[in-house]
Structure 1
Amino acid sequence: MTEKGKKAEDRLIIRRSGYPAKGEIVIGTVTRVLDFGAFVSLDEYEGREGLVHISEVAPGWIKDIRDYVKKGQKVVCKVLDVNPKRGHIDLSIKDVNERQKREKIQQWKNELKAFKWLEIVGEKIGLQRDELAKIGKKLIEEYDTIYGAFEEIAFEGYEVLSPIVGEEFAKAMAEIAHENIKPPKVKVRGYFELKSNAPDGIERIKKALTEAYKFANGVNMKIEYVGAPRYRVIIEAEDYKTAEKVLKNVTSSVLRTIKKLGGEGNFVREAV
């Protein structure tokens, strides 16, 4: 069966054991909608279902809960309370802000990708689904998410996971991780205010800015005209230490050069 035709229930999904923590942001699927609330099956937890009381669905008075939630709908919730003895999990939809919702949805999308990558590793090595699930649970215990484990191996090398999953499995994971996960970039930025009263002042300013590119080795750097006398510089690097070092060198070079050419300038840092 092709991936396109593969049923969702046939895909590898590794769920956590136990209960979510109070205050945790979780993602789930609405299974039942009643007049007093909606029951939500937690996608990340094995066999766990929570209740969103009608008062926790949305702000204000709700006449009909079905105007807000429907069976089969994906929802992001905050865990209000957990009672393992009774098996109760109280949830809230209205207490989740837009940023938390976006971040959780993206995290779950990443996790679904990671489950697929794990399946590919299992097929390559010849592991059965139950063996793969056991390895996945170990990875969740150690790194909180499967995607987090792939990130770790992408940035640190297969050796970090060898003690947990074995060398062969770790090497196969590393191969997929390097193909799919790129190190995050960081940005620093600011703008120069450069002036020159010389007849060829514009050329002198250009010359000063050109000096900046001598220090751009290993980073992405862009200088753009904002509007006289401002010129913005944006530096993108693997880490802040590298970005800050390049920015310091660039700033010193440009200001030193414009001064040498009879002009004046200063630099203003901007928040990213």
Structure 2
Amino acid sequence: MKYYKDQPDEGDFVVAELTDVDQNSAYADLEKYNDVNGLIHISEVSRSWVQDMRKELDEGEKTVAQVIDTEGDSLTLSLKRVNDKKKRDIMERWKKEQKAEKFIGSLADKLEKDKDEVYNQIGFKLQKEFETSFHGFEIAEAEEDLLNEMFDEKTVEKIQEVSREKIDLKQEKLEGKIEMTFPQGDGLKRIKRSLNEIDEGVEINYISAPEYSVTAWGRTQELAKKRIDSVVKTIRSKVSDQGGQFEFSRA
């Protein structure tokens, strides 16, 4: 795994593998950073009193630590300042970033470029913008406009291809109901024109006149909401432009 920063900043949370544990201290390698290690003093292991760190920690164990000092050859790390929720979040993010390394490899193949080159030109930019390159692939469809500001058209297209191939977008689901009415005699044609451009990850289904169901999926609730909001905005505009009335309600 490669990361755009050479080492973390003070206050950052990191995944650390314990390499050497003795009674009063432990050394750890930081997973995202090459040749960067940290030191954990016995006073930073737990909020309760610890007599021997070897009874609390195991060599080879992976855990989450907070960087509390960046001076010196080794960073100073703390375990006791990491709550359970933060630990779960950071570990989950780290696991996803491991998956993203394979995504970068697939992207390199599609672009016919070296993997390191793709990391430097694309992966690191995704990390800076979205915190992890995985999240960049995850929202590639929903945030296409933002990606277009960062990369050329071909690169965005290939990022989206990898996203569709590697990530199941249909996980989180949001549902709603829309009503469209037109006073004109050709209302059915106007409805069809209003629904002729539906984004990927969104489905519109007929219930009974004038009601339609709308369902949006996304890797996260946030992405699903963006999709449903976007399609509702588009349909509302088309209905209005054709002299119709539009209503939307969430399920």
Matched residues in 2 for 1:80 and 1:112: separation? 25
Q: Which runs of 5+ in 2 are unaligned?
A: 176-206, 217-222, 230-247
Shift of 1:111: 1.0
Q: Which residue of 2 aligns with 1:23?
A: 11
Cα 1:60–1:125 change in 2 (3 A) is same
Asked whether 1:217 is paired with 2:205, we answer no
TM-score by length of 2: 0.65
Match of 1:152 among 139, 155, 159: 139
Asked whether 1:60 is paired with 2:56, we answer no
Matched residues in 2 for 1:115 and 1:184: separation? 22
Cα 1:239–1:162 change in 2 (3 A) is closer
Q: Which residue of 2 aligns with 1:246?
A: 249
**Which segment drifts farther, 133-142 or 69-78?**
133-142
Alignment of 1:46-125 (within 5 A): 46-83=34-71, 86-125=72-111
Cα 1:22–1:186 change in 2 (3 A) is farther
Matched residues in 2 for 1:187 and 1:68: separation? 44
Q: Which residue of 2 aligns with 1:161?
A: 147
Q: Deviations over 1:77-136 (max 9, x none)?
A: 1122222xx234211112211111111111111111111111111123322232123122
Shift of 1:168: 2.6
Q: Secondary structure at the match of 1:51?
A: strand
Q: Which residue of 2 aligns with 1:206?
A: none
Q: Secondary structure at the match of 1:21?
A: coil
Instruction: Note if contact 1:155-1:183 (Cα within 8 Å) is conserved in structure 2.
Output: no
Instruction: Note if contact 2:24-2:52 (Cα within 8 Å) is conserved in structure 1.
Output: no
Between the two proteins, the alignment pairs up a number of residues equal to 193
Instruction: Note if contact 2:10-2:69 (Cα within 8 Å) is conserved in structure 1.
Output: yes
Shift of 1:62: 2.0
Q: Secondary structure at the match of 1:218?
A: strand
Q: Deviations over 1:36-78 (max 9, x none)?
A: 2111111122322111111111232223211221221111011
User: Over aligned residues, Cα RMSD in angstroms?
Assistant: 3.1
Matched residues in 2 for 1:156 and 1:23: separation? 29
Q: Deviations over 1:198-233 (max 9, x none)?
A: xxxxxxxxxxxxxxx98781149xxxxxxxxxxxxx
Instruction: Note if contact 1:111-1:147 (Cα within 8 Å) is conserved in structure 2.
Output: yes
Cα 1:52–1:40 change in 2 (3 A) is same
Cα 1:163–1:87 change in 2 (3 A) is farther
Instruction: Note if contact 1:82-1:89 (Cα within 8 Å) is conserved in structure 2.
Output: yes
Alignment of 1:223-242 (within 5 A): 238-239=224-225
Asked whether 1:14 is paired with 2:2, we answer yes
Q: What amino acid sits opposite 1:77 in the alignment? A: A
Matched residues in 1 for 2:170 and 2:147: separation? 18
Q: Secondary structure at the match of 2:81?
A: coil
Instruction: Note if contact 1:15-1:43 (Cα within 8 Å) is conserved in structure 2.
Output: no
Q: Which residue of 2 aligns with 1:139?
A: 126
Q: What amino acid sits opposite 2:104 in the alignment? A: L
Asked whether 1:175 is paired with 2:161, we answer yes
